[in-house]
């Protein structure tokens, strides 16, 4: 399921699953992103202009494939909710 997220703040966002996720401070390399997606983690892509898209475990891999093959520079981070649920956040840079 791919969903637009409207209520994000600096360092925190509410996912499509209604959990509030916060940055953990860790960055991920390509292999780290792929390992987490393979483990079933959802992905959020932060697009230039501020739009956020949620990709559940079924859409996470195609979202990652699109991002990594695109022309934009990408950084990735590990986020977690208060209950320990994980999230990969991909930020596309112009």
Mean pLDDT by 10 residues, the chain (94 residues): 54 86 87 93 88 90 93 91 92 86
CA atoms within 13 A on the CB side of 25: 0
pTM of the model: 0.86
User: For position 8, what pLDDT does the model report?
Assistant: 59
If you compute the radius of gyration of the chain from its CA atoms, what whole number of angstroms results? 12
């Amino acid at each position: 399921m791919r969903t637009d997220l409207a209520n994000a703040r600096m360092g925190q966002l509410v996912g499509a699953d209604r959990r509030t996720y916060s940055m953990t401070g860790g960055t991920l390399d390509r292999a780290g992103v792929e390992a987490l997606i393979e483990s079933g983690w959802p992905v959020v892509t932060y697009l230039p202009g501020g739009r956020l898209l949620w990709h559940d475990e079924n859409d996470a891999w195609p979202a990652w494939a699109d991002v990594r093959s695109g022309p934009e520079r990408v950084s990735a981070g590990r986020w977690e909710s208060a209950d320990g649920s994980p999230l990969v956040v991909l930020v596309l840079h112009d």
